Structure 1
Amino acid sequence: LSRHMKIHLGGEKPYKCVDCEKEFTHPGSLRTHMITHNGNPSLKCNICGRQCVRQSHLENHMRIHTGERPFTCNNCNKSFSLLSSLKTHMTVHTGLKLLTCSLCCKQFNRPCNLEAHMRMHSGVKPYICTECGKRFPHFGSLKIHMEKH
């Protein structure tokens, strides 16, 4: 559990591709990535060359290039390229918070928000200023810092 938590809290990516050095947080992500090196050439983006494991992945990827956002929120009309992104967005309107911090019981609607919150407890600061070396727990804090430099 402690090794696994380092993935969430410290941004650790222990699974590395031997072909291109790209790093991943989970072994399944690495396995999926490996298919891009020797996968089906017919599932290759004709714009940027990215290879996909499944046809549906290629279709989702192509929306990056086309700007297509076929999934629209009925509450605020914000649109999304992925259905999963719309489902995550809907928690903003429902107020549903299914994720709870095990240390202070604060609740969150998105895994990334819980992960960012956990850095407050752990003291992990994975975002580093390239100018001065100062470290930050959240990307937004680093961005504000960089704007001042």
Structure 2
Amino acid sequence: MRTHTGEKPYRCDQCDYSTTRKSILNRHMAKHTGNKPYMCEECGYRTADRSYLTIHVKKHTGEKPYKCDQCDFSAAHKVSLDLHLTKHSGEKPFMCGQCEYRTALRSQLSEHMRTHTGMKPYKCDKCDYSASCKGNLVKHMHKHTGEKPYMCGECGFRTADRSSLTVHLRRHTGVKPYKCDQCDYSAAQKCHLDQHVAKHNCE
């Protein structure tokens, strides 16, 4: 019934996360404690969540069963496809009450709100670094471990950052998703498009 009422009585005492079930809260707490019992036998990647390991393993097998019906994008898990589809629809229903930021995902709005509050609940246990979102802490931890879990199946390039692998793969595929709305220029990286658009603005 809580899925209908929106009630989330189980609250994390270390960040603003809350949930409908105690088992989900226990899984969330592992993010703070650093307990990661599930390990990938291929590369040593570790996680606190069995489902995350299942998703991770698909990166090695290349399995991407979730296909976009509007372009050639495919994903290893549904949440990635759902996020991708918002780029086509342009729908961003979640809005910040303190600035003009809008997003397609409620979780991204929660992370954005920390830019206003300054809250950084994700803390490194090896130095004094802390982060407002889990992804930034995960990337930071690779600096301590030297781990590079993301590998290109085409050439063997390895990186600690998933987004870096995504950018790298475009060298092989030739995909250039960032399009200029003033001419026929396209780029593999947003920063290159930004530089290009600046030239139009100067003109």
1:59-138 matches, cutoff 5 A: 60=111, 62-73=113-124, 78-138=129-189
Unaligned 5+ runs, structure 1? 15-23, 31-36, 38-43
Q: 1:47 aligns with which of 75, 80, 97?
A: 97
SS of equivalent to 1:125: coil
TM-score, normalised relative to structure 1? 0.57
Distance 1:97 1:2 in 2: 20
Q: What secondary structure, in the 3-state scheme, does the structure 2 residue paired with 1:86 have? A: helix
Letter in 1 for 2:152: C
2:131–2:137 Cα contact (<8 Å) kept: yes
CA distance in 1, matches of 2:175, 2:96: 40
Q: Encode CA deviations 1:68-115: one digit per residue, 9 max, x unaligned.
A: 223355777554202332122221343211111101011111111111
Query: Matched residue of 2:153: which SS?
Result: coil
Contact kept, 8 Å, 2:67 with 2:81, in 1: the verdict is no
Q: Any gaps of 5 or more consecutive residues in structure 2?
A: 1-61, 86-92
State the TM-score, normalized to the length of structure 2.
Answer: 0.44
Q: 3-state DSSP class of the match of 1:26?
A: helix
Mapped to 1, the partners of 2:84 and 2:144 lie a distance apart of 31
Report 1:24-43 matches (<5 A): 25-27=80-82
Q: 1:13 to 1:63 in 2, by over 3 A?
A: farther
- Write the distance in 2 (CA, Å) between the matches of 1:2 and 1:123: 20
For 1:58 and 1:141, how far apart are their aligned partners in 2? 26
- State the distance in 2 between where 1:76 and 1:140 align: 31
Q: Which amino acid letter does the alignment assign opposite residue 106 of structure 1?
A: F
> Who is 1:41 aligned against?
none
User: Over aligned residues, Cα RMSD in angstroms?
Assistant: 4.3
